Amino acid sequence: MATFEPIKTCLSAEVHHVVCSLGLTVLNSPGLDRVITVSGEICWEAITFSLCTLDAEKHDLDYIESVRSLGPVCKTAHLYLLSLSTQQFNNQYGLWFKWTNNRELFVEAFEAIRSVQPTAVSLSLMKLTACLERALGDVFLMIGNECPFLLRDLLASQELAAVFGQSVMNLLRVFLGSPRSLNLRNILWHGFAAPSEIPPMYTSMLLLLTAGLGQILKDFLARNNLSLLHRPYFQLTQLKELAVFPDINEEAIAAAKGIIEKSDFVMEIMLPYWNDALEAYKDQRYADCTILLLPQLEMGLRKHFTIVNNCPNRVLTAESTTLYTTFDEMLAKYLDNGVINRLPSTLGEPIMEVLWDLLNHQEGPRLRDHLSHGEIDLKLFPREMASHVVALAIILLHHCHKGANGIAMENECLRTIVCSTHSYCSRFHPVGRLKQQLRRCLESLQKWGEIPRPTLEQVSDRPGSDCLNPAAQTVHQCLMEGLVSALINRLKMVYGEDLNPFHYLLAEAQLHLVAKLLANRIGTLFCPRVVLEVVSLLRKITSQCLTVSEQIMHGAVSRHQQWLNKSLRSRQRQNYLRMLGSVQYLHHIFSLLTLLVTVELLNAQTMTDETSSEYHHHLKFLKLVLQYTENMVTYTSPDKNKWNESWDLTEKMLLKVKNFYNK
């Protein structure tokens, strides 16, 4: 295992030179009138004159010379803003920040440039760049269709050049848009820049440029008779599903502070971020806490990643020819050279699943992505999410602490937080989502016992309460018993437990068995495509089953009320009685289907060969079941009520399913 010298910067030599020194090399600064006019408008022509190009036709910039040339301009802008009070700044420029939909954030950034707090500039720049990206995306969508996901692609778009002018967009690219430039957004959001490492003059310059963009936009909107619409913020609706850790209180914060300086997870140069993040949590500034912590979780994992994979050079920022080592690569199964990544096994599956749930899964909060792209309302950032991130940080700090177990044993609060991950299963992986769907299906089917019915006296003289004759009912019963036996035998093969099919003939027993099976841990890390394809079909089947269950429940309650009110016509009464005659049978069928989906979920974990004929035959079978459930959604809908037809359809389905399993 390689030994490591204390790290003084996480910026590579070239990036450090560009960000921390290059813009300061030219000493002569232009006069203020070369930056802004007396009325406060940005002198775009004079500022963009400092841009240096390699190929003007291709808009290919010489980023190094542009940074050097723009340095004195940034210094002039910085000295000018330092001369203003907050009130003066707000009066002069507040109106021009309105287009960003977050004027207050830019006033906070103005106050940060004179702050003595080491993390103030970094925090403000992260918030400023995220908000600016979101606002530029809103402008893009006035004349374009699909907004680019990456900021560098957004800044290079023809749509924004049509609004602001190509030279203005080139200027923004120097600050934000390329690994060859200052690239301020990325080196901050990926955790590379240490506190006080980025010159405050770049924040000042971006403040004035953002105000200037507002000035240009006002004229553009007036000329073209357009209005700027802001997209709604992303809603963090997954808070209940993420509620797996104890809530972070002052005792937990104190425990975290006790291990920050001792954990190998934290770089010494990054300590101010950690301390200020915990203070922000105590001050109920939950967005600030999370924004400060997320890049440091990435940096801590990057450090750990380089140690366990013995690649110390990758803790630094990359040059323009090489990608950063980011969350995506650190949480992957293999390194870029095809070698197994050792970080997942070092962290353990539960911690990896927590990280994937928070950061990567498409149906999860994807917190870092949404925050860094300005898609979350910082003013309404939920305490629960900040608490989750702090708890995860404590777990990682503890995991990378040499004396961790001793500390955890002494501190009950810390021990509770750490132990809360031991049984964690993914909530947002497709497998986790399927398990949640199945649980909702169970809950719905278990409510069928509450379906109201007319009394026997009310229906005894009315025909139509039976949908099948006794002979047909016997056939159906035999088919269901055969299917239960086939499913239990299949379950024995994949589950390994000897189960007696006779015990699971009743719907209630089947639902109980499903609940028991879902309580077992199912691994989700690095699922092969064959598993994901099967799970996708199972999710569609389960969704249709839930729809049928809800339709029948709601329909039965509604019809019963109409029955009591005597508002049903003759034909409707007969249809209602046919529905009641189907309820018990359909309850059994859909309980059985829920068990089938659960068994197939377990069986999917054993699949590996997506090219085999057996696998494709299996997919074909699941699509057949899906088609049945889709038809049943139609047959049991309030406007169809095809109860007799649903029995016929069910008999054909049972026969096909039984034949498939018997093979």
pLDDT at 422: 87
CA angle 71–38–160, rounded 5-degree value: 60
pLDDT, greater one: 501 or 601: 601
Non-local (6+) Cβ contacts of 569 within 8 A are none
User: Residue 238, SS3?
Assistant: coil
Question: DSSP label at 528?
Answer: -
For the segment 199-206, the average pLDDT, to the nearest whole number, is 97
- The answer, yes or no, to whether residue 28 has pLDDT greater than 90, is no
Mean pLDDT taken over the chain:
89
At 612 the pLDDT is 80
pLDDT digits 0-9 by tens, 533-578: 999 999 999 999 999 999 999 988 888 888 888 888 888 888 888 8
Measure the CA–CA gap between 563 and 572, rounded to whole angstroms. 9
Reported as a single tens digit per residue, the pLDDT across 441-488 is: 999 999 998 888 887 655 654 444 445 556 556 667 777 888 888 888
Give the model confidence (pLDDT) of 34-67 as tens digits: 899 988 899 999 999 999 988 766 668 999 999 9
Is the model's pLDDT at 413 over the cut of 90?
Answer: no
Residue 38 region by backbone torsions, left for phi larger than 0, else alpha for psi between -120 and 50, else beta: alpha
- Over residues 152-173, the pLDDT tens digits come to 999 999 999 999 999 999 999 9
What confidence tens digit (pLDDT) does each residue in 311-365 have?
887 887 755 555 567 888 899 999 888 899 999 999 999 999 999 999 999 999 9
Under the banding of pLDDT at 50, 70 and 90, the label for residue 2 is very low
pLDDT (0 to 100) of residue 1:
41
The pLDDT value recorded for residue 318 is 56
Q: Which of 454-468, 501-515, 622-636 has the lowest mean pLDDT?
A: 454-468
What is the mean pLDDT of the segment spanning 213-239? 95
pLDDT score for 464: 46
Give the pLDDT confidence of 568-601 residue by residue, as tens digits: 888 888 888 888 888 888 999 999 999 999 999 9
The per-residue pLDDT for 575 is: 84
Residues forming a β-bridge with 53 = 61
Question: Highest-confidence range of 23-37, 305-319, 422-436, by mean pLDDT?
Answer: 422-436
**225 pLDDT band (50/70/90 cuts)?**
very high
Q: How far apart are CA 201 and CA 206, in angstroms?
A: 9
Percent of the chain with pLDDT over 70: 93
- Residue 624's alpha-carbon distances to 296, 486, 551, 598, 617, in angstroms, are 49, 17, 22, 17, 11
**Per-residue pLDDT at 554:** 92
Q: What's the Cα-to-Cα distance from 264 to each of 135, 259, 299, 305, rounded to whole Å?
A: 39, 10, 12, 12
Among 379, 373, 329, 378, which residue's Cα sits nearest to residue 185? 373
Distance CA 211, CA 214 (A): 5
**282-288 long-range contacts, CB within 8 A, separation 24+:** 282/250, 282/253, 284/383, 286/381, 286/382, 286/383, 286/385, 286/386, 287/376, 287/378, 287/379, 287/381, 287/386, 288/123
Q: How many residues does the chain have?
A: 663
- Helix ranges restricted to H, 400-455: 404-410, 412-419, 430-446
- Confidence grade of residue 504 (pLDDT, cut at 50, 70, 90): confident
Of residues 520 and 534, the one with the higher pLDDT is 534
